[in-house]
Structure formats: structure tokens, C-alpha cells
Structure 1
């Protein structure tokens, strides 16, 4: 037996810790993940390896110079286990998606209908799938797009233009996940650090930001999607779309129901229900527990780069948050209400800039969320900086050449990650930033 089984073991232990409220199970999950990544460190991509080395250096420096309290280590272990399992658990939806024939017709359905709704429908569909599949949505839509376009006699130029239009629209849809989805890592971190800030309290602001982003990209990207539809010239009807919609709504409804009747958040409910549903379906279909275990293990191994990034980012953010004088910074920021809006603007820009430089957005998210938790403890309204952080994380996902979503699009399109991040999205980010700043100022005015 290879050590690959440590990944699903870690996820199972973390889910058991969530359900049973037993922290030692979470610590055991962190140990399982640590052993796996130590054994397979050389198999990781360059960026995760670089992030792991930086995390180790920061951790050693914190131990040597800051001398953190012993109570920090169990918290860090739980944090690492939670965020590593978060991606591993939700990523299992890829196994279900591979068995749904309706998904092969998805692009045909999305390219049909009125040109007015063409772009927003594509964006919202990508965001909806991304809320469940996470990064698996990028692989799913890009992979099915490549197969879909092979069915038609397109020129190389038409194929490249079509790939660009659909992929950039898909990426914009993925950027809506932190703003709208109860399963997003943004909501997961903010609600974990500040239980008073739930998905229901933040989604109205996220919806406004999402609307702004859709409007900004509407005109330009609609032209490219229309050109692709005209070049394809397929007017036949896609099959299975009502069933796909009903299934998606039932899944989201089950997540909401579990969150409402238990003390689990929406994100935690998704972490529990997605693996339970997928594994149950696979057992019913395959009739072989061993085959299912092998598929689940292989799926998690295929995502080990992303899982490692999330785990390292959680550890790095937790260490920096523990050794940084967050209490002193929070006390200073609490003196003046104007600092609240400045913190929101800083969270928006710093998350994007650091992501462009190679720092995973989840590190900025974890660190800023820790600061906001201190402010909330002092009685400061933190909705304004939370909105800035949420919007910054959203744009950082599509504007960083080192991000998993950008790397996936680069692989499928044949373009460099820098062209995908800056060439495809530079004008979009520059156009939407002023609108997001207006949203921050409006939130500050409303909360004050």
C-alpha cells in the first residue's frame, strides 16, 4: 500500500472531528497530511514547493525569535487540517461530474438563446458549478470545451478565439464564488474567525460586487461568445439540462438544510455532504468498495498541489497572525472610524498585489481575518473591511499568474500564465476596481 492513502485518511479524520467536536482527530488529520507531503514533496509543482520552503522558514523564525505559546500549535494543526480537507472534500465532486452525460452538452446549452443573457448566463453557470467543484470546475468546463469544439470544422484562429472567450468567461464566473457561494473558502475563513459574520450577512454585499463584475465584462465578452456561436452554427437542443439544474438545486438545498439544523456552517456542511453523496453514488454504481477507495485516493492525489497550497497558506497565515501584534494594531485601528474604511481599501489592494507577487491569496485572507477578529472583539463593526477582503480575494483569483485557476487555463489554452492573468484580465480588473471602491464606501456609510 502506497502512502497516498494518507490524504483520504486525513480528510476522513477532519470530517469526523467536525461532526464529533473532537480536536484530537483534527490533530491526527494534520499529522497524516504532514507525513504525506513530506514523502511526496519532490512531486509537487515548483510554486507549492517554494511556498512550503517559505512556510518552513517563517515557522522556524517564529519559534526561534517569537517563542509562541504552546497553545498555538493545536490551533495551527486544526487550521491546517481544516483547509487542506476543505479542498480535498469538495474536489470529490469531480468524480461525480465525470459520470454525468449532461455535462457534455453544457457548452451547447450555454451558447444558445438570446445574446443579452449569453455572457451573464455563462458566468453564473461557471460560478454555480465552481461553488461545488471549486478548482475542479475549471478542469471540467475547460476539458469539455476542448472536446466540444473538436466536433466542429473550425479554423485554428476561430478555435483559439473561441477558447479565449469561453475560458475568460469561465474564469470570471469562478471569481464570483468568493462573493456568492456559501461553500467558498473566503466565507469559510471569515465565518470561522468571526462566527457573527455568516454567509447570509455577507452575501448581499457580495451580490452587488458580483453584479458590478458581470456588467463590466458583459459587452466585450458577449461579442466573442456570439462569434463562437456563429462559427459553430449548431442550433440543435442540448439534452439533460433540467435534470442537471434540479440536481444542483437539491445539492445546495441539502447543504443549507444541514447548516440550519446543526451547528455546522454552510462551508462545513458542504465538506460533509459532498464526500458522503459522491461516495454513496460511487458505491451504488461500482459495487466495489476497493474501486471507490482507489478512485477517491487518485482524485485527491491529483489535487495534492492545491491541497498543499491551502494547508501551507493556513499555517503561514496562522503563524504570522500569532506573532504579529494584531491586538496592538486592532487597538490602534479602533481609535478612529476612518481607519475602518482604510483597512478595507488596504485589504482590497494588498490581497491583489501580494497575489501578483506570488503570495497565495489565502495567506492574506487568513492574516487579515485574524486582525478583523481582534477588531470585532473590541466592538468595531468589521463588515466594511470584510467586504474589501472578499472583493480583493475574488480579483486575486483571476489576476495572479501563480494561482491554480490561471495555471489551469494556461494549460488548456496554450498561453502563458502571465498572458492569461494580465492580458486577458488586466483591463477588466482596472475597470471594476473603481466600482468596488464605491461599494466599500457605501458599506462604510451604511454601517456607520
Structure 2
């Protein structure tokens, strides 16, 4: 998802953008149609709608083809190879009909979440809250930015990460460090790591996170409400361990400097946290009231909430036409930007397809026999899932694809003593660590580029020891709690 710009959050209404090319407008229409078809599938119970959504998505990707990076095109090539395999095995229709809903769901969710980002562009509280976090005194700054990275990541995905990283870069000047370049470097490392670790912790619990939603769809016997307490505990523990590393690694305290105060900062931060809590609570309540799966309810609640948020922001600013202005913001900053998400959507669509098709094509009995031969304790097996996610990420394979295949395969076979919840958190832990360390991870590459560092330095040198410790702790817990 394109970064949420500071200017977007500070000014409403925004200046009129440059008209988009005709292909972009057509692509935006295609993604809108595909999203509506997904809604018809998950809400109306019309599987044929999901089948129709996939070719519409293919048209979207064809229109956005010049935007796609090499890895996205490679993934499509792999999908074509798997589809050919299914055709040769005379299972093409079975695979296609079974994978259609999963293939189209995540792109539809991203389309809906982009409307949330559009609504945020009309709110002045976002930028104020970000500046407030950055301007905290050194004793509180790491914790503030970690939890800030988590809250902003929940609402805005990678756009929230970009917003906070941009703000830390602006605040970390030589003048603010009293002319000491060493302090500038340390603050850059400290603040960047804090935001990244908070952002990575979103994977463990966020109801709006793509990662957790993917795992929940592939592990249907796990409900978000059931894993929420453990997920929050994992996120807090993840951030707390990061704080401990920060305390152990920090140099002697530099001379104090005066930090500017952000008027209304605490109130703005409370508003951001309130949006996270309120949106999750409404979705949870709707799930209980309707009996629909959480992921289905989310597709409906998010766009409605986004529109109401935008209207509320314009009412607070005493805009003369709040409804019209809100519709314009949703269209201009949300729907019109659908082509900008082509690379992310390519990975999401490919992972949904591969997660279902690969599991269906690989014989279940053969997989079960191999596992029986290995006779691995359940805790060790779960730990291996996490290590595979990290290892393949360093080889360039997106953790979204790896996690989809592993979660789908684990859900399709029976491993005595290994609950689905353990599979979910093992994969989530590996995924979180790749966000922090893999030099090829999108979030890490973007962060390193914004601060002018190499992704290897930010990932391996700054966060490698922390991520390795997380993996060791996770392995010890899994092996200890699931001895077999």
C-alpha cells in the first residue's frame, strides 16, 4: 500500500491531483468490480461470483502490468505453471473453483482497507499523533514509537510505517542532537528499530492485518476472538523484548536536549488508538450478532467505517458540504489509487491461489507418510515452519506465499498434539522476524530507503540479534508446551 504522506494527514481538503491515465481508471474500475463480486460470494453465498472475480482481477493486473516488479511477474509465472500442472492432472476445474474465493479475498480486503487510509487523509489527528510520538523524551521515546508503530500499522498498514519513519527522520537533526553526529546515528537506529518492531508485532493480533487474515482463512478452525488474548500477549512481549535490547545496546546517556511539545498530542494519540479499538470492537460485535466469519464481516464494516470517519472529520472541520467532500476524498485517495497497489495485490492473489492449489495437488497421504517417518515432536515441527518462513524470505520468497502454502498444508494433514493455534503463532513469529531482518522484505526495503541506509544494515545489523532471540524463545516455548 502506498505510504500515507504527512501532507495527506495535515491538510483537508487536498489539492486536486493530476488526472490519471485511462488504463489506471479502467484498472480501478476492475478492482472495484472484483471487490463487489467477492462481497457477493462471502455475504450472498454465491460461489459463482468468486469465479467471476478472478478473471476481472486478471484484467486489472493486465492493465497494471507495466507497474509490476519482477518478483510479482515471477509469482504469476509460478501460478501459471501450477495451473498447467492441474490441467495435466485433469483437476483444473476442481483447483480453480476451490481456489477462486481465496485468490480474490485478500485483494478485495486491501481495496477496502485503502478506503480506511483515504478517510485518514481527511483527519488532522494522524499527523499530530505522529509528531507527538516522535517528540517524546528519550526515556519514553522507544516505547512510544513501538506502540505507535503498532497502532499506525493496524490502521494504515505499510502507510503507517512510512508516516512514522518520515517523522523520525525529520525530527532527528544535527541541531536536535546538540551537534553530535554520533547521537544522530544512534537516534536514527533507535527510533527506526522501535517503529519497525512495533509494526512487525501487528502480525500477532491485528484484525485488519493481511498476514493474520490470511492465516485465519487457511486455518478455518481458529477464530480471531479465540487467539486475541495470546496474540496481544505475544505483541506486548515482542515489544517488551525490543525495549530490553534497546536498553542493553544504548550508549551512555547523551546530554539532554529540549524537545518541542505537540499541542493536543495526547488527545490525537487517543483518537488513533480509539479508532483501532472501536473498529475491532464493532467488527467483533457484528461477527457475534450475525454469526458470519470475522473476515466476511470485515469486508462490510471497513468501508462503512471509512465513510463515517471521513464525514466525521469534515464535520469537525466545519466543512460546508461534509458528505460531498468525504465522497471526493474516498474516491480520490482511495478508489483512484487502486492501481498503485498492483504489486502488493499480485503477491496477495498469488499466495491465495498457491496456498490452495499446491495443497490440493500434493497427495495428502504421501505428506502424512513422510511426517510419520520423520516422527518429529509437534513443538519441533511447528518451530520448523517458522524457520522455513525466515529462511525462504532471505532467498527472496515473500513470506505471504510461504505462509500460505505452509498453513494450507498444515491444515490439510493431521499432526497429533499440534493445535492449529500453535501453527498460526509459529508462522506468525517467523513472518514478524522476516519483516525486521530480510533484506528483500518490502517493508524493510522501504524503511531503509527512506533513511538512506542499506536494507542489510537496518535488517541484519540492527535487528538480527533481536530476531534471533525471538526465534529461540518461540522455539523453546513450542518445544516445552508441545512435547508430543
Relative to the length of structure 1, the TM-score reads 0.87
Partner residue, 1:403: 441
Q: Matched residue of 1:100: which SS?
A: coil
Q: Does 1:177 align with 2:202?
A: yes
> Contact 2:135/2:259 (CA < 8 Å) preserved in 1?
no
| 1:16-415 equivalences in 2 (<5 Å) | 16-64=40-88, 66-111=89-134, 117-148=140-171, 157=181, 161-221=186-246, 230-231=256-257, 233-235=259-261, 237-239=263-265, 240-282=268-310, 285=322, 287=324, 289=327, 292-330=330-368, 333=371, 338-375=376-413, 381-415=419-453
Q: Matches of 2:33 and 2:343 in 1, distance apart? A: 17
Task: Kindly state the Cα deviation for residue 331 of structure 1 after the two structures are TM-superposed.
Answer: 5.4
Q: Matches of 1:253 and 1:220 in 2, distance apart? A: 33
> Contact 1:93/1:132 (CA < 8 Å) preserved in 2?
yes
Q: Matches of 1:301 and 1:343 in 2, distance apart? A: 40
Q: Matched residue of 1:415: which SS?
A: coil
Q: Does 1:439 align with 2:462?
A: no
More displaced 10-residue stretch of structure 1: 170-179 or 21-30: 21-30
Any idea what the Cα deviations from partners look like across 1:335-373, whole Å, max 9, x if unmatched? Answer: 887442232021010000111111111222111222222
More displaced 10-residue stretch of structure 1: 126-135 or 369-378: 369-378
The count of residues paired between Structure 1 and Structure 2 equals 445
> Contact 2:219/2:411 (CA < 8 Å) preserved in 1?
yes
Root-mean-square deviation (Å): 3.2
Q: Matches of 1:392 and 1:32 in 2, distance apart? A: 33
Q: Matches of 2:399 and 2:215 in 1, distance apart? A: 14
Task: Kindly state the Cα deviation for residue 290 of structure 1 after the two structures are TM-superposed.
Answer: 6.1
> Contact 1:313/1:363 (CA < 8 Å) preserved in 2?
yes
Q: Matches of 2:180 and 2:130 in 1, distance apart? A: 19
Q: Matched residue of 2:221: which SS?
A: coil
Q: Matches of 1:75 and 1:431 in 2, distance apart? A: 39
Task: Kindly state the Cα deviation for residue 307 of structure 1 after the two structures are TM-superposed.
Answer: 1.3
Structure 1 residues 105 and 228 mapped into 2: Cα distance closer, same or farther (>3 Å)?
Answer: farther
Q: Matched residue of 2:231: which SS?
A: helix
> Contact 1:313/1:360 (CA < 8 Å) preserved in 2?
no
Q: Matches of 1:290 and 1:255 in 2, distance apart? A: 25
Aligned counterpart for 2:38 among listed residues 14, 37, 52: 14
> Contact 2:380/2:478 (CA < 8 Å) preserved in 1?
no
Q: Matches of 1:151 and 1:236 in 2, distance apart? A: 20
Q: Matches of 1:197 and 1:146 in 2, distance apart? A: 40
Q: Matches of 2:299 and 2:257 in 1, distance apart? A: 41
More displaced 10-residue stretch of structure 1: 360-369 or 261-270: 261-270
Task: Kindly state the Cα deviation for residue 424 of structure 1 after the two structures are TM-superposed.
Answer: 2.4
Structure 1 residues 420 and 164 mapped into 2: Cα distance closer, same or farther (>3 Å)?
Answer: same
Any idea what the Cα deviations from partners look like across 1:178-199, whole Å, max 9, x if unmatched? Answer: 2122333343233323322122
Structure 1 residues 340 and 379 mapped into 2: Cα distance closer, same or farther (>3 Å)?
Answer: closer
